[in-house]
Structure 1
Amino acid sequence: MRHTVAGGRRVGAIVFLLCCPIAAAVSSEFVSVDRDNIVLARERPELDALGIPAGGFRIYPSLTVGTIYDTNVFDRATGTGDGFLQIGPKITVQSGWSQNFLRFTGDAEIERFARIHSENNERYGVDALARVDVTHNMVVELDALFGRRAETRGSSGDVVAGSRPIIFYDAGGHISLTTTAGAVTAKGRLDLDDYRYNDAQVGNQFFSQRYRDHRATTALVELNFPLTPAISAVTSASFNDSSYTNTLPGLAPLDSNGFTTLAGVRFGVSSVTTGQITAGYLRQSYRAAVFPTIEGVNYDARIVWNPTTLLAVTATANRSIEPSPIANVAGIVADGAGAKADYEVLRNLLVNLRADYLREAYRGSDRRDRRVSAGAGVRYMINRTLQLGVQYDFRDQTSRGAGARPYRGSDVLLQLTVQR
């Protein structure tokens, strides 16, 4: 339930979105990433929100209210606990056309703490996403977004001890083209993001975060071609560039560019076991000679096991290079692994268990972090209008080196969602 960089504490950790399938000839942004998870992908039309008709569109409003108690609000070695209220309004407007698709989304998260009022904050975002069915075998997607976000407590981006939550803004979007030629599927995608950071505030003092302002560009090409009815070969290459607009006096710029390659297999053994396993190479080079080039083995894997129609187990592992939020650190090599289980007790009652591991190596520094987290939750879909959730999460980070930040904490959430 701790918030993520992309948008707030994990308010929706237990409110799994049961995405309605949208017809498309090829793989699309609109297809749920949990499509292989038999529990989450199962259609439950009697429990889905009906929405409000508006011409060729439907409007889906919702409001989520949660009460949370966190034993270590700041994620520091000495924990300070507090409870808070979290309010999350959301509205989605999407087309109901037989061809092409258009969706607008707006959401917000408002947090109000019982005692630690300096943690009170508001986050919001808007997003417009379109799919154009050029032909039966070709789909173009365009997306534009803007968001006011907050750095995660305890993450690498939470860099100023004792500060209020560090606020930043993300404006950007993507364009992608997916096409099939015979049995081969090809995809190209271009992502653009512009990040701007507010100053960190500690009491009446302000610490500039402008050195973190940057523009990030990523281009991806991916190919998928079948080898047998159950196995496909997949390969991808991505290229990225990060351009920083401000540099602190006396410190090296953080500008960088790099690429990643991956190759492997996508498989489906009936509907019981599906997944993708790839490995390759990654490299990130920095404009400043003082920062070493980061390079090495790359990997990404996701396996879903559905032993029964009521149980799904998902395992993931991946490596990435994250941009540094620290002025004298080039980048962060992040290795993550996780597992979760989703079980359908009743058609309208789902439970989940999860465990995650993250290792972060700060290049240009001797800091090393290892974080273990685990959680369990219940989602009760009372009817089309009401959903109730309960979630418990635990986290433990060991840390060494310059700026080390060990901590341990847990939180519990009770959440009610009203939807139309």
Structure 2
Amino acid sequence: MKCTFVSAGSDAIGEGPEGLRPIPVTRRVLRIAPWPVTAILLGIASPANAQAIPATSDELAPPWNAQRIFEPSALPDLVDRDNREAVAPEDMPVKKRQQPGYEPVGIRQGSWMFNPSLMTGALYDSNVFASNTQKRGDVAAVIEPSLRAHTLWERHGIDIKLNSRTTAYNENSSLDQTDVSLKGAGWIDIANDMVVLGSFQIAHLNEGVGSLSSPSNAVTPTPYNLMSGDLTVRKEFNRLATSIGARVDSYDYGTARAQDGSLIDQSSRDGQIYALHGRVDYAFSPVLGWFGGVEGNQRNIRGVPGQTLDSTGYRALSGLTVGFGNLLRGEFGGGYVEQRFDNPLIGTVDGPSYRAKLTWSPTRLMDIHVKAEQLVTQTSDTSSTGVLANAVQVGVDYELRRNVILSLAGAYEIDRFFGQARKDRVTTTNASVKYLMNRFSAISAYHRYTSRDSDIPTFSYDKHQVGLNVTAQF
């Protein structure tokens, strides 16, 4: 089972080009519009955060949920496509709307479209080392240039994004880091009911100090290189949609520095993860469906002499998909997860898993997101510490004006650790406001709060982050 982490330092408006309008993909037409691909697959790289369960993410439309099989899938539109009406901007999710006059212009070159952007910002972190004894605040400058290129072909498509993010601290230069990522996605329409999906990532990233996967005494980020790729085939049979795919992730870790100045070698976490995944969706009606997904993995991790970290595992989830027009949509599922390590000292980490994710839109100006999840995972994809995590997350997006979006979110998570008498409780809040000035610029401000209360005091801390970002795009 693969766990993904979400960055606490991601800016409020820097996660991909601004103002993207996802174009709904129906069951009978698998042609993929280029705009939603970036929102789904080409966001910025996300280093680890304090949480084991990712924060509420954007909804996925078929067929891209085939590569993230445990994310909710939108129910199909069973109306004949010749009689379907275009979806108005006000009927799209609040954060995905692309209002006329605020969409990026782009630079067209033949059948390719290029969208450059530059985000600059500043943030204040009240506890940069995530410590409960030596809290130290600092300000940092952030700069994030990016370039997206995508095709305008009638069929098939390619979507690529090159992204860099540099964070430079004023007083604690040891925390400076630069993430660079090249991501791509492509699709081939074999037929109107069959598509081949491919994606890749080549990146140099950093794990932030205080994250679950960062060494507890580290005072610098942990750098690592990541290469990954996924190839998936999705096929529809009337109301039944199926997919099968394979993914590989390769990790190469560097060293972090400890408080006493010594180096912390993380090369024991180097290795590859191979995964096979599949999902089945069946629509009983336009408002109710069933899904089942399973992913198996083989992890070949270096470890240390005499203690291998190799393991095999799987995660299976099944449940119901609901969708009452633009009012309520989401999924409820339950299943099981297991990771069996070759090293008998680590043993098997397993247990039940559930997931519920709903979006309620009481008005066209507001979306309310609710997510509850339990899973058994590791503190990172390539470590051996097991965690049983339970989390509840609630978020609200409100369109104050066509070009002003307010977002509030809160989460509570309980992490129980295997192999040690430790139980953590994590509370987070996130508030942001985004103002689109025109097609070429946007401003956002945010505040984030994280509190980890652990049975082992060394791991307890709390911090505030306040930031302001300005984005220029074309």
Q: TM-score range by the shorter chain?
A: over 0.9
Displacement after TM superposition at 1:99 (Å):
0.9
Residue number in structure 1 paired with 2:424: 369
Residue number in structure 2 paired with 1:411: 465
Counterpart selection for 1:291 from 342, 346, 351: 346
Single out whichever of 121-130 and 409-418 deviates more from structure 2: 121-130
Single out whichever of 34-43 and 360-369 deviates more from structure 2: 34-43
Give 1:17-166 correspondences, 5 Å limit: 17-22=18-23, 24=25, 25-26=29-30, 30=37, 33-34=58-59, 38-78=93-133, 79-166=135-222
Cα–Cα, structure 1 residues 360 and 296, in superposed 2: closer, same or farther, change >3 Å?
A: same
Residue number in structure 2 paired with 1:335: 390
Displacement after TM superposition at 1:316 (Å):
1.1
Asked if residue 244 in structure 1 is aligned to residue 301 in structure 2, the reply is yes
Cα–Cα, structure 1 residues 167 and 217, in superposed 2: closer, same or farther, change >3 Å?
A: same
Displacement after TM superposition at 1:242 (Å):
1.2
2:385–2:419 CA contact under 8 A, matched in 1: yes
Residue number in structure 2 paired with 1:282: 337
Task: Give the TM-score, by structure 1 length.
Answer: 0.92
Where structure 2 has 5 or more consecutive residues not aligned to the other structure, the ranges are 41-57, 61-73, 75-91
Give 1:323-402 correspondences, 5 Å limit: 323-324=378-379, 329-401=384-456
Supply the AA of the counterpart residue of 2:447. Answer: Y
1:292–1:364 CA contact under 8 A, matched in 2: no
Task: Give the TM-score, by structure 2 length.
Answer: 0.82
Counterpart selection for 1:208 from 265, 280, 301: 265
Q: Deviations over 1:303-331 (max 9, x none)?
A: 00000000000111223333346999442
Cα–Cα, structure 1 residues 255 and 324, in superposed 2: closer, same or farther, change >3 Å?
A: farther
CA distance in 1 between counterparts of 2:339 and 2:212 reads: 19
Q: Deviations over 1:196-240 (max 9, x none)?
A: 110122365222111111211221111111123310011111111
CA distance in 1 between counterparts of 2:344 and 2:6 reads: 31
Single out whichever of 314-323 and 147-156 deviates more from structure 2: 314-323
Greater fraction of residues in strand:
1
Residue number in structure 1 paired with 2:9: 9
Cα–Cα, structure 1 residues 47 and 82, in superposed 2: closer, same or farther, change >3 Å?
A: same
CA distance in 2 between counterparts of 1:110 and 1:26 reads: 37
Supply the AA of the counterpart residue of 2:325. Answer: S
Q: Deviations over 1:227-282 (max 9, x none)?
A: 2331001111111121112x3235x2221111111111101123201111110111
Single out whichever of 155-164 and 182-191 deviates more from structure 2: 155-164
Cα–Cα, structure 1 residues 392 and 328, in superposed 2: closer, same or farther, change >3 Å?
A: closer
Residue number in structure 2 paired with 1:261: 316
Say what the alpha-carbon RMSD is for the aligned residues.
Answer: 2.4
1:212–1:325 CA contact under 8 A, matched in 2: no
Which structure is richer in relative contact order (CA contacts within 8 A, separation 6 or more)? 2
2:30–2:194 CA contact under 8 A, matched in 1: yes
Cα–Cα, structure 1 residues 14 and 130, in superposed 2: closer, same or farther, change >3 Å?
A: closer
CA distance in 2 between counterparts of 1:257 and 1:364 reads: 19
Counterpart selection for 1:313 from 368, 376, 382: 368
Cα–Cα, structure 1 residues 14 and 90, in superposed 2: closer, same or farther, change >3 Å?
A: closer
Where structure 1 has 5 or more consecutive residues not aligned to the other structure, the ranges are none
2:365–2:399 CA contact under 8 A, matched in 1: yes
Single out whichever of 255-264 and 385-394 deviates more from structure 2: 255-264
CA distance in 1 between counterparts of 2:317 and 2:276 reads: 14
Count the aligned residue pairs: 414
Supply the AA of the counterpart residue of 1:9. Answer: G
1:104–1:129 CA contact under 8 A, matched in 2: yes
Displacement after TM superposition at 1:83 (Å):
0.3
Identity %: 21
Counterpart selection for 2:278 from 213, 221, 233: 221
2:301–2:382 CA contact under 8 A, matched in 1: no
CA distance in 2 between counterparts of 1:265 and 1:284 reads: 25
Counterpart of 1:382 in 2: which secondary structure? strand
2:270–2:382 CA contact under 8 A, matched in 1: no
CA distance in 2 between counterparts of 1:162 and 1:168 reads: 15
1:39–1:311 CA contact under 8 A, matched in 2: yes
